[in-house]
Each structure stands twice: as structure tokens, then as C-alpha cells.
Structure 1
Amino acid sequence: MHVAKGVPCQTCHGPDLQKPKEPSDKTCLGCHNRDALIEKTKDLHPVVNPHNPPHNGECIQCHLQHSDPVNNCADCHKYDFKMKKL
């Protein structure tokens, strides 16, 4: 999805694609504004906003750019979030 929007691999994985870096929250939040994401998803149900969780709020825990996203909240909670591939 990023490539389709003109974002090169190096933006998230660093300049050396022979040894790509694993993106971190800092990488994601360099382009995606956390406050805007929290606002955008504030009315999702159940009550907990997946972009403002009380624990384990790292972007790449759920959004796995090269594979389908994972609702890790559902490991412990009965949340049925509709996940988007970014």
C-alpha cells in the first residue's frame, strides 16, 4: 500500500535494502500522526480505541506491512476490530 502511494521501501526500511531495518513506532509516526489516528478511531466499538490502548500500543504489532494485519487485542479480549492493511 505504501509503494502504491509512492512511498519507497527505503522510507521505512532504511537506505540499505540488502540489510533492511525493521520499522519501529518512531518510523511509523514519522508520517502517521498518532493523535489523528486516535481521533479517527475514537468511536470504534467496543469501548477501547485500538490506537490508544492501555498497553502494547506499538504500530507493527498489528499492522504487518508485508502481510495481513493482526488483531492482537483479540488474543485476550473479545474485540472484533475490522483491520485495514496499510
Structure 2
Amino acid sequence: MSDLSKVPQFNRLFRLQFEPAQDSFVLLFPEGMVKLNPSAGAILEQVDGDSSVAGIINKLQSKFPEAGDLTPDVCDFLITAEEKKWIYYA
């Protein structure tokens, strides 16, 4: 992803929520549910329709400073999330 100023938004068919029974974030959609790993949950938790990709990366870098440069991992995940139609860019 070359444009870090893009702002991801959730597809209206998907809703992110923390599921205590699963002890993880999940994406709910009409046909079911996707259980997310901790990294995916942390990234999607930052998708608010206002924060750019750069802003999301900055928030995650502050939250996980020991992780090093998160830019490639976050960008790769957001590409996958867009391919799966979980998010889009307005």
C-alpha cells in the first residue's frame, strides 16, 4: 500500500466486536462470524472511518513500541481485509 493517507472504513455488512466467549475480536456478518487473531483484532479495532492508515500505524506503534516497524504488517493486513471486502476506502 503506497498511500498511507487513505482512510479505511468497515463494509456495512461487517461488525467488529470483542467476544468474551471467544476471548478475541470477531467480525460478525449475516452469514456468520470470523474469529480474528490478536494482531488482526488490534488493527481492525483502530478502523473508525476517520483515521488514516498512517494514523492507525502510529496508534499501534505507540501501543506496541517493542514490535518495531509495524508499517509492512499493517499494510499487508489491510490489503487482505480489503480483498475480503471487510473494509473499503472512500
Name the TM-score, length of structure 1 as normaliser: 0.34
Structure with bigger strand share is: 2
Structure with bigger helix share is: 2
Name the TM-score, length of structure 2 as normaliser: 0.33
Higher RCO (C-alpha 8 Å, min separation 6)? 2
Greater radius of gyration (CA)? 1
